[in-house]
Structure 1
Amino acid sequence: MKESVDFPVIAMMRSPFKEKFGIPRQPNLVDVPCYIELIAPYNDAAAFDGIEAFSHLWLLWVFHDNKKQQGFKPQVRPPRLGGNQKIGVFATRSMYRPANIGLSVVKLMGVEQQDHGIRLCVTGSDLLDGTPILDIKPYITYSDAVLDAQSSYAVEAPIAKQVFWHTQALNQRAELLQQQYTSEQELKYVEQVLALDPKPAYQKDINRVYGLRFSDLEVKFKVGTQDVFIVALQYVDMV
């Protein structure tokens, strides 16, 4: 029996999520637009004939930016359980697993023709920018949507927190908008991401300032019990 199998990479994800910190922990929690750029010879439009009749797609992809692990670890600490309780790796969606493969459902917004082929515009992605994609399959409602499924410790979607802007961040926001380094729509996406509270579940210090990169923006923020406070906003080239 073969111990490993090789697969071709058919596409790359182009996403405003430039680092792992801040990426939604599950797909379809934010409606940020992302682009799947097909690689030759898979960028042939004929290969996607009929795909626009489907509203959602399955993406099979690779956790390409993981730190190296020494050997197989049978248990992990899911963020949903506070980051302290251990559970079997195959009972989680942890990125650290024997095969670094991820599976996500995204919403298909359209197929765009480009000089070098085509790309797919999707929303709801939880993929890091530059993620290699191994396969794309249509989501089939009658078989893929299991209405009576049970989800153990991940029953309910996370409750979104309210996002507020401190005075300094508001001034920086106005300046970046005036200089057209960002847009109101992009800042709404930033708020969606922060409302999901991307900090580690075990971190309880409400005075700690966190930072994340979203597209070309560097965002500094604090997380309270029910709120997120944006304290600074900068364009990456200004950082």
Structure 2
Amino acid sequence: MRNTLKMRLQARSACVNGWLSIPAAYSAEVMARCAWHSITVDLQHGVQDYASMVHCFQAMSAFPVTPLVRVPSNEPGIIGKALDAGAWGVICPLVNTAEEAKALANACLYPPVGRRSNGPNRASSYGGDKLYQDIANDEVLVLPMIETAEAVSNLEAILDVPGVSGVYVGPSDLGFAMGLRPIFDREEPMILDIYATVTKEASRRGKFAGIHTINPLYANRMIDMGFNFVTVGSDASLMMKAAKEALAALHLRD
């Protein structure tokens, strides 16, 4: 089996990623019925845990969407367990140096490239007529997050780490770390200049640039800027937005 998201990215096609904060298989199933190319279970800031992540992966498996995970930290135990459970890629927060990026790649990839422990469990079914272990290193996406000034200063070194597939920008923390408000769809010229550097350096190396957004129109701008992997909101934020719009459209008496 191939990682269809990675195939699409390698073809330089834009990919749209959904986000799961709600720990419910039904939410995952509803999201998977839509036209996302991939859906990420958020173990960092969502209210997911390991068991709910597995349930979400199981619910998604009936649909042609690639399951990803954002892990809570750059720790090989949870990274390996998420991959064993069926994640086709790992988004990892707060990767600030090449050394930390190398640690992430080691946790995601099997020997001799990395140090991932053997025991793929659910993921073993991805191998098809081959062993999963024979295809995993070629198919798993390794995406460190760029969300601090230190990470920006080390961007090229992070991208140059063998095994790293690209980078994923966390705009809220990136701005917050620079003394700005923690928002997603940023307009500060300084931040937009960073985005331009991220897309240029990733493209120059044949790697991928991703970013988290809230508004689809802003996501389109980021695709036009050169990001080829964009997240648009989450199950929770999309539900809240739709609910607010429905209520605002009603003409109710007090």
TM-score, length-scaled by structure 1: 0.22
TM-score, length-scaled by structure 2: 0.21
Query: Which structure has the higher relative contact order (CA within 8 Å, separation 6+)?
Result: 1
Please identify which structure carries the higher strand content.
Answer: 1
Determine which structure has more spread, i.e. the larger CA radius of gyration: 1
